[in-house]
Chain A
Amino acid sequence: MAGSAGGDRHRSRPGLVRAHLEAIATAARRLLEPPMTMPIPDYGDARVPGYRGVVLFDYDKCIGCSLCAQICPARAIKMYRVPGDKRLRPGYNVGRCIFCGLCTDICPTDALSESIVHDRVYDDVPSMDMDPVDWAVWSRRVLEEERKPGRPLLRARVDPERGLVYERVDAEGGPVAEEKGEER
């Protein structure tokens, strides 16, 4: 444990010329290494397992208990009356959602789940505020996109030499065979 007292910085101080050269050499050495950033938008981010993105809603599994609306810290979930349905159902304003995932934690059925997406584009502000039916339909679309991603996916992993490296994965998170080993 580094519980040592301060001040030893002066003892370890290298000479002026050497310190300048070391600083330049250290920075120059990094120039030869590839960048650590993910090449977006050519590639998509496969995310870590269990990533908390937008919340998806399965209308058929919902029992209308309203717990999700009660726990939501951002008031992104509201209960709606749906014509032809006796119970109240949750609607979702994705613009308000902070992706905390507490609603999925408290849902007593598996009606709510997290997707790996959080960076979708919406036509306008009203389209971000969805009633229960819209939410369920939209959720199915997000799930489909998740299964059939429009661009190749990369997943980050820690590398002891380079910090983060990215490997190609398929939609299920398995490595992509033909390009296995090729890293960006």
Chain B
Amino acid sequence: MTRLLLPGMEGRVLGERGGLRVVELYIGAQHPASGHMRLIVYLDGDMIVRVDPDIGYVHRTVEKLAETREYVRVISLVERMTIIDACNVTLPYVEAVERLLGVEAPPRARYLRTILCEINRVSSHLYGLGLGGIFLNHSTMYMWAFGDREVFVHLASLLTGSRLTHTYPVFGGVRRDLPQSFRDEFEKAKRYMLRRLREYDKVFFNNPVIRGRLEGVGVLPREKAVALGATGPNLRASGVRYDARMTGYAAYRDLGFEPVVGREGDALERVWVRLREIEASLELVERALRELPDGPFIDERYTRAVPPAVRHWLEKGRLKLPGGYVRLKTRPGEALGRGEMGRGEITYYLVSDGGMKPYRLRVVTPSARNVVLFDALARGHTLMDLPAVYGSIDYFPPEADR
């Protein structure tokens, strides 16, 4: 079989059909546009007949490691699946454990969690848009989205003290109260971002070159989206009105959450849904800030046992934990945690035997569910459409590999 070398890719000729070579092409794992994974693409001439995503390059045994750590230490562990969407990835786990512990976060903490989740969602969508842009050789979109994401990373670090891995929601509440400067900074960031979204429309979304690359590419019909179990903006772009936030966790019920739903299901529609979700998230944060209830940011049960010498931190809006927090025991049983991340729904299934560590923690991440779309959407398109499909489904290998 003949080897075939292309820039950044390697392949081999499988045979011939109708005068055209049938080629098996390896894209990745060192290809700049493959992410931490490899795509094995089968081509008939220039037409994709099959795509095998070769995943698992960044598998870190998160589920197994979770069984060896106390509940609170698992928060920072599961965060590492998607550090760019840290609050969204940890919150459903925290809520599942809270259910077994029998605590509930006070209203203020629920609102603060929602605020950080939505800020994370904006950063996550901007990250996806930037990568989607560079996949299409649109360097401007790449630079702009990553530059503007910095504004939201800055907001998150104001709230949590950390740019990416916030470890913000903990059992019974959150780790920091809203800092004084936050409202003002957010208000400016919202004005800035809304203006920028108009510019994105001009430079990227309505750009005829981008339209040419995305419109009608990788169409995912509604029924197929449901049958394949696609999730997140990819599902909503196909016209399915489903979003895990509709279950009303954190403060979403109080805020009257409404999902953004598309119709066409092509690559362009998936980008459109993400752009509009950025607007919706800004709107949600603004409403959450307006309606933010007063009160403690962590459950009394934990603050009561904090030594008097360090209680002053609580008044300053910083969490102090009691010594027993490391050795929290849950009641035996199972709990399910669901939440909507930037890329779709994440599910935690937690089994406890009454000890200090999870007996079993099963995680299904949105990217793990969306990986089927590579094959389903790229078939029948040309090789040049593959980056467009990849960019539009916003797949994140570390999240899928866990």
Residues of A within 8 A of B (CB): 1-7, 9, 12-14, 16, 19-20, 22-23, 25-27, 30, 36-37, 48-52, 65, 67, 70-74, 98-102, 105-110, 114, 156-164
Contact = CB atoms under 8 A, between A and B. Distances in A.
Nearest to A7: B263
Given A23-B204, A107-B310, A108-B323, 8 more contacts: A50-B318, A70-B327, A71-B321, A72-B73, A105-B319, A158-B151, A158-B186, A163-B192
A12 B198 CA distance: 12
Interface stretch (B38-46, B106-114, B159-167): B159-167
A6 B147 contact: no
B277 A2 contact: yes
A71 B326 contact: yes
Nearest to B236: A6
Contacts of A48: 154, 157-158, 161
A158 B203 contact: no
Contacts of A71: 70, 72-73, 321, 325-326
A116 B325 CA distance: 26
Contact of B191 (A26, A102, A160): A160
B188 A158 contact: yes
B247 interface: no
A105 to B, nearest CB: 5
Given A20-B208, A164-B151, A73 B264 contact: no
A157 B150 contact: no
Given A3-B259, A71-B325, A19 B310 contact: no
A156 B261 contact: no
B115 interface: no
Given A106-B321, A160-B192, A6 B309 contact: no
B260 A98 contact: no
B150 A101 contact: no
Q: Nearest 3 pairs between A and B by C-beta?
A: A6-B262, A3-B258, A6-B263
B363 interface: no
A7 B165 contact: no
A106 B279 contact: no
Contacts of A27: 140, 203
Q: Main SS of chain A's interface residues?
A: loop
B19 to A, nearest CB: 36
B206 A19 contact: yes
Interface of B: 69-70, 72-77, 140, 144, 147-148, 150-151, 154-155, 157-158, 160-162, 165, 167, 175-176, 179, 185-186, 188-189, 191-192, 195-196, 199, 202-209, 211, 237, 239, 256, 258-264, 268-269, 272-273, 276-277, 279-280, 283-284, 307, 309-310, 318-323, 325-327
Nearest to B152: A158
A2 B74 CA distance: 35
Contacts of A106: 320-323, 325-326
Contacts of B327: 70
Given A1-B258, A6-B264, A71-B73, A109 B283 contact: no
A73 B75 contact: yes
A179 to B, nearest CB: 21
A110 to B, nearest CB: 6
A105 B175 contact: yes
A160 B192 CA distance: 5
Contact of B76 (A22, A49, A102, A158): A102
A30 B69 CA distance: 49
B167 A102 contact: yes
A141 to B, nearest CB: 22
Nearest to B74: A73
Given A109-B310, A158-B185, A50 B161 contact: yes
Contacts of B323: 65, 67, 106, 108
Contacts of B176: 50
A19 B203 CA distance: 9
25 contacts: A1-B258, A1-B280, A1-B283, A2-B260, A2-B280, A3-B261, A5-B263, A6-B261, A6-B262, A7-B264, A9-B268, A19-B206, A19-B211, A23-B209, A27-B140, A48-B161, A50-B179, A71-B70, A71-B325, A73-B72, A99-B165, A100-B162, A100-B167, A101-B162, A163-B150
A23 B322 CA distance: 56
Contacts of B209: 23
B273 A163 contact: no
Contacts of B72: 71, 73, 102
A70 B71 CA distance: 12
A52 B261 contact: no
A19 B155 contact: no
Given A23-B202, A158-B155, A2 B279 contact: yes
Given A48-B161, A158-B185, A163-B192, A98 B151 contact: no
A120 B161 CA distance: 18
A163 B151 contact: yes
Contacts of A3: 258-261, 280
Nearest to A37: B147
B284 to A, nearest CB: 8
B146 to A, nearest CB: 10
Contacts of B161: 48, 50-52, 101, 114
Contacts of A12: 206
